[in-house]
């Protein structure tokens, strides 16, 4: 059996931001060893020695160098380059030739596996003659999950619900991040389009009456989707002596204190386990390290410095009297003399795009640059940017409306003459953080447009969840003109004035249209939707769905005042040349 590790780096996990800007999640250190290296060793112990790792184009070089470092005679690693967002099932189609004609395992790159009953899962899969077996785990807490799995009494997956936190849905089952498939699934994957496993492949298998089962595997494994998950994983492993003691390059010098090679510890140091110190660390006199704590390679802890229940990546240094309590400190950072960090995730710098990705309900106190003054500066810069953006939105919307109000009246009159129905069309769309609002447009379709949608869905010309047709029979003659010139969007200036939209941002969509890619959805909902955006000026209706994902994520991660200005000017050119408009 072969295994495929699927990477979701095209859709950055905002609950792990901004560390995911530093490096891919699957390279995050756990007990001083990358997540994927732990998983590779586990798969090897289970007899799976051929592993394919997918990597997006923008993480390829780093992934290639990283894979070279963990190459072993025990297993064979094949690296697959994903040139554009393909979705987890789309990647399956791309590597079909490597998987050959036998059942195969798929592991999400966010999953850490210490131990799992793969033998039991494989036996279950074979006995049930399943086309797909989905790994699940029961959530003991009664909380809402954005991914709800419903099971029948005999273990069949009866329903998969991919929702948003703004919709309350409760289920005891969650995806564990591991799947077993037979080659028959390739017949159900659209080879050239964006295609996800949970959101598209599994529902399609169910609709085709293919046997899809769920399996709750024994053992310790954990998905890392947030900083809290990352912290909790370390606490679990450090409290389990039998697990933490598996080190070839470390020795236990005191009760639950493991030390790497060439690490120097001064006699006056206070150490209270569980603690793991990497290779070539230097711990000075009177320093205190209180576990559970993990220090990476080449860390320098000066006199009177304190590390308490923290995770320090490689090459971190604490100057004299500095402290890190309940923190995650990124690679290569220096905590200056006397600085005290508490409940923080520290990185080398912060940008407006990073602030977009950070959750508002962050359970840690916050995220900041290692120079603590940058925390304040980043917050002020973000506030200034939002103030300027809102001022620009109001100014542009008011000036445009004042200049064009005669055109509004002319279009309204033409719509009433052209076809029966109201002048405006109002549709419920998702705003920032999933808040629903009524988006205004000039009506461009006949009165029965919604009822005709189901009849035309098979004729759509886009590969994603959105419906686009070059010659949509529902569009009126006047509506076609309004769409080609983008004049149908003019009423959205009122949405901008009300604060529901911005002039520039991702296009507002309904929740149903974003279900195929929850990570993309959650990233784009961190900012206000816009009348125009980066995706629209790259081709609009002609651009494929994977470009939509790529450009929305790029905008949110790199948002700035000058980027907005650039997009506005490009929009004028795009509208005048009618690029991709229908």
- Over residues 259-308, the pLDDT tens digits come to 999 999 999 999 998 999 999 999 999 999 998 999 999 999 999 999 99
- Over residues 286-300, the pLDDT tens digits come to 999 998 999 999 999
- Nearest C-alpha neighbor of 422 from the set 439, 441, 408: 441
Q: In whole angstroms, give the CA distance from residue 288 to residue 268.
A: 9
Stretch 210-223: mean pLDDT, rounded? Answer: 91
pLDDT at 13: 55
- Over residues 14-33, the pLDDT tens digits come to 567 777 766 778 888 999 88
Stretch 359-382: mean pLDDT, rounded? Answer: 50
Helices then strands, each counted (H, E), the chain: 17, 35
pLDDT of 489 above 80 = yes
Q: What token pair was written down for 445?
A: 């379709």
- Over residues 539-566, the pLDDT tens digits come to 655 567 777 878 888 888 788 888 899 9
Band (439; pLDDT cuts 50, 70, 90): very high
Give the phi and the psi of residue 104 in degrees, each rounded to 5.
-145, 160
Question: Could you tell me where the DSSP H helices lie in 259-372?
Answer: 352-357
pLDDT of 359 above 80 = no
- Residues forming beta bridges with residue 311, ordered by sequence position: 294, 328
- Nearest C-alpha neighbor of 522 from the set 86, 193, 167: 167
CATH topology of domain 2-225: Spore Coat Polysaccharide Biosynthesis Protein SpsA; Chain A (3.90.550)
pLDDT at 369: 47
Sheet bearing 293-295, strands edge to edge: 251-254, 257-259, 275-277, 293-295, 311-312, 328-329, 344-347, 366-369
Stretch 207-224: mean pLDDT, rounded? Answer: 90
Stretch 231-254: mean pLDDT, rounded? Answer: 75
Q: In whole angstroms, give the CA distance from residue 375 to residue 385.
A: 15
pLDDT, the chain, mean: 81
- Nearest C-alpha neighbor of 124 from the set 94, 154, 150, 144: 154
Stretch 232-251: mean pLDDT, rounded? Answer: 73
- Over residues 114-170, the pLDDT tens digits come to 889 999 999 999 999 999 999 988 876 544 445 667 777 677 876 666 655 444 455
- Over residues 368-377, the pLDDT tens digits come to 444 444 444 4
pLDDT at 348: 74
- Over residues 445-480, the pLDDT tens digits come to 887 766 666 666 555 655 555 656 667 778 888 988
More confident residue, 257 or 61: 257
pTM of the model: 0.76
The answer to whether the 2-225 and 228-371 domains have the same CATH topology is: no
CATH number for the region 228-371 comes to 2.160.10.10
The ranges assigned to domains in the chain are 2-225, 228-371, 379-577
pLDDT at 103: 92
pLDDT at 537: 82
- Over residues 95-117, the pLDDT tens digits come to 888 887 789 999 988 899 988 99
Stretch 35-48: mean pLDDT, rounded? Answer: 88
pLDDT at 135: 92
Least confident of 85-89, 126-130, 184-188: 85-89
pLDDT at 444: 87
Strand (E) positions, 338-442?
A: 340-342, 344-347, 366-369, 424-430, 436-442
């Amino acid at each position: 059996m072969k295994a495929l590790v699927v990477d979701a780096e095209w859709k950055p996990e905002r609950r792990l931001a901004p560390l995911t800007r530093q490096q891919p999640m699957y390279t995050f250190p756990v007990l001083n060893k990358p997540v994927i290296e732990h998983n590779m060793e586990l798969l090897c112990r289970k007899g799976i020695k051929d592993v394919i790792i997918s990597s997006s184009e923008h993480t390829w070089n780093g992934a290639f160098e990283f894979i070279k470092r963990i190459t072993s005679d025990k297993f064979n690693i094949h690296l697959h380059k994903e040139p554009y967002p393909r979705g987890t099932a789309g990647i399956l189609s791309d590597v079909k030739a490597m998987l050959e004609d036998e059942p195969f395992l798929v592991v999400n790159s966010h999953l850490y596996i210490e131990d799992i009953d793969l033998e039991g899962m494989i036996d279950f899969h074979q006995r049930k003659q399943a086309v797909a077996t989905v790994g699940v785990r029961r959530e003991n807490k009664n909380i809402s999950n954005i991914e709800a799995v419903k099971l029948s009494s005999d273990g069949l997956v009866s329903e998969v619900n991919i929702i948003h936190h703004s919709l309350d849905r409760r289920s005891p089952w969650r995806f564990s991040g591991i799947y077993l498939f037979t080659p028959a699934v390739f017949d159900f994957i659209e080879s050239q389009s964006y295609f996800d496993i949970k959101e598209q492949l599994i529902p399609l298998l169910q609709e085709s009456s293919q046997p899809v089962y769920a399996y709750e595997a024994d053992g310790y494994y954990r998905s890392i989707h947030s900083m809290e998950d990352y912290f909790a994983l370390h606490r679990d492993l450090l409290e389990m002596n039998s697990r933490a003691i598996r080190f070839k390059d470390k020795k236990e010098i005191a009760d639950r204190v493991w030390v790497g090679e060439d690490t120097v510890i001064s006699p006056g140091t206070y150490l209270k386990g569980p603690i793991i110190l990497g290779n070539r660390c230097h711990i000075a006199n009177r320093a205190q390290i209180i576990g559970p704590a993990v220090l990476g390679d080449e860390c320098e802890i000066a006199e009177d410095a304190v590390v308490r229940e923290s995770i320090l990546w490689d090459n971190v240094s604490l100057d004299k009297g500095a402290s890190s309590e309940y923190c995650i400190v990124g690679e290569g950072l220096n905590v200056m003399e006397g600085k005290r960090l508490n409940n923080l995730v520290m990185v080398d710098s912060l940008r407006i795009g990073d602030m977009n990705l950070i959750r508002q309900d962050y359970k840690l106190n916050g995220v900041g640059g290692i120079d603590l003054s940058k925390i304040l500066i980043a917050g002020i810069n973000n506030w200034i940017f939002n103030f300027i953006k809102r001022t620009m939105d109001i100014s542009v919307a008011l000036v445009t409306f004042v200049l064009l109000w005669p055109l509004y009246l002319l279009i309204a009159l033409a719509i009433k003459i052209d076809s029966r129905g109201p002048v405006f069309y109002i549709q419920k769309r998702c705003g920032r953080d999933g808040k629903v609002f009524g988006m205004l447009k000039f009506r461009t379709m006949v009165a029965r447009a919604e009822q005709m949608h189901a009849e035309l869905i098979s004729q759509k010309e886009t590969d994603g969840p959105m419906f686009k047709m070059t010659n949509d029979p529902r569009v009126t003659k006047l509506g076609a003109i309004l769409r080609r010139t983008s004049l149908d969007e003019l009423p959205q200036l009122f949405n901008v004035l009300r604060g529901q939209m911005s002039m520039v941002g991702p296009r507002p969509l309904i929740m149903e249209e974003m279900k195929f890619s929850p990570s993309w959805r959650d990233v784009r909902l961190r900012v206000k939707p816009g009348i125009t955006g980066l995706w629209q000026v790259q081709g609009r209706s002609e651009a494929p769905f994977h470009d939509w994902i790529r450009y929305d994520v790029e905008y949110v991660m790199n948002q700035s005042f000058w980027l907005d200005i650039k997009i506005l000017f490009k929009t004028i050119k795009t509208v005048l040349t009618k690029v991709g408009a229908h």
